[in-house]
Structure 1
Amino acid sequence: MKHQTLQLYDYHVWANNKFFGRLKELPEEIYSQEIQSVFPSIAETLSHIYITDTIWIGAMHEGNFDQIQSSVVKAAEATKGKNLEELEVMFTELSERYKEFLNSEDDLDRPMAPEHPHFGQLETQLSDLVQHVVNHGTYHRGNLAAMIRQLGHPSVPTDYIHFLYEKNAMN
């Protein structure tokens, strides 16, 4: 049986891909259109998800805070001005890095202790960090769904149960 952590990460990738697919069906201008929401545009919301996923893969690799901060700066610069298709490629490449890393781990529940200069050290497990990445993505995909609706278009269902039904139908 597949470890729950791997399945949850697969869900995260599936849900992100559902949004990219939906956004490609919509008028191109909504991607960067300014909107009154949590983020000023769909593009900025997607960039935030990407940058945060970059932070956490650095933490999972047990990078120190300065290394992770450096990767955040690079990720933020890399997302600037990217169109939807370019950002989708970046998401795909990052998800491949995650999958390679997670599939190489012998123990997805191994203890970890990431440190943050303001929050201190967190005694946790690798699987908890993956759960955070998934939850963070889910939260902001909710923002994306609201933004798309606010711009006058239906969104796409990305609840975990939809992932399970689709996965079940494929088996």
Structure 2
Amino acid sequence: MNHNVLRLYDYNVWANRRVFNHLKELPSEIYRQEVKSVFPNLEEVIGHLFKTDIVWLCAMSDKSYEDIQQLVGRYSEEMKNQNIEEVERTYLEFSKQYVDFLSSQEDLDASKTITHPMYGKLKTSLSELVQHVVNHGTYHRGNITAMVRQMGYPGPSTDFIFYLYEKQGEPSL
């Protein structure tokens, strides 16, 4: 098993937790406050991040496109009108499924083919898909930081180096 892939995913969860913790310290109304940005508000970008994580875990698990759409729809419906604490709980519970799935794989670098109805087939590996999930999360955490700053508050620090410093001395996954 590739411990670097698990560590990379652990960083993603750590960084998202930092965002959640930071947002919980700010006035609750900013979660749905309109912002002129890539997303109309923080709720939308966080929902997008979470739904995309769902899509990729399902794709890695060989679920059908229809099953993925159904699950994303279910989580979308569940998250409607949830506050930041409730969304965080739902996300953290779901992230355990990633860890369980990745930990159960014998070779995260083995060749894997995924199929998308619009983009076609892609030959890749689970480790590359995890890298995509983390990269996607990093990109949108940047959106969140920019949006929070637009509203007059400092953004959270979620750089990988801060994760490494914080995890220093802890056993690797």
1:34 aligns to 2:7 (yes or no): no
**2-structure distance, mates of 1:169, 1:4:** 16
**Counterpart position of 1:154:** 154
Aligned residues, how many? 171
Task: Please give the residue correspondences for 1:1-171 in structure 2 after superposition, counting only pairs within 5 Å.
Answer: 3-168=3-168
RMSD: 1.4
Identity of aligned residues (%): 50
**1-structure distance, mates of 2:65, 2:24:** 36
Residue 169 of structure 1: how far off its partner (Å)? 5.6
* 2:136 maps to amino acid: H
* 2:23 maps to amino acid: L
SS of residue matched to 1:35 = coil
**1-structure distance, mates of 2:140, 2:61:** 24
Residue 75 of structure 1: how far off its partner (Å)? 2.0
SS of residue matched to 1:122 = strand
Q: Which runs of 4+ in 1 moved over 2 A?
A: none
Unpaired runs of at least 5, structure 2: none
**2-structure distance, mates of 1:170, 1:150:** 36
Q: Alpha carbons of 1:44 and 1:153: their partners in 2 closer, same or farther (altered >3 Å)?
A: same
Q: Alpha carbons of 1:106 and 1:170: their partners in 2 closer, same or farther (altered >3 Å)?
A: closer
Unpaired runs of at least 5, structure 1: none
**2-structure distance, mates of 1:3, 1:73:** 32
Q: Which structure's relative contact order is higher, taking Cα pairs within 8 Å and 6+ residues apart?
A: 2
**2-structure distance, mates of 1:64, 1:123:** 17
**2-structure distance, mates of 1:76, 1:55:** 12
Residue 170 of structure 1: how far off its partner (Å)? 5.1
**2-structure distance, mates of 1:39, 1:140:** 10
SS of residue matched to 1:114 = strand
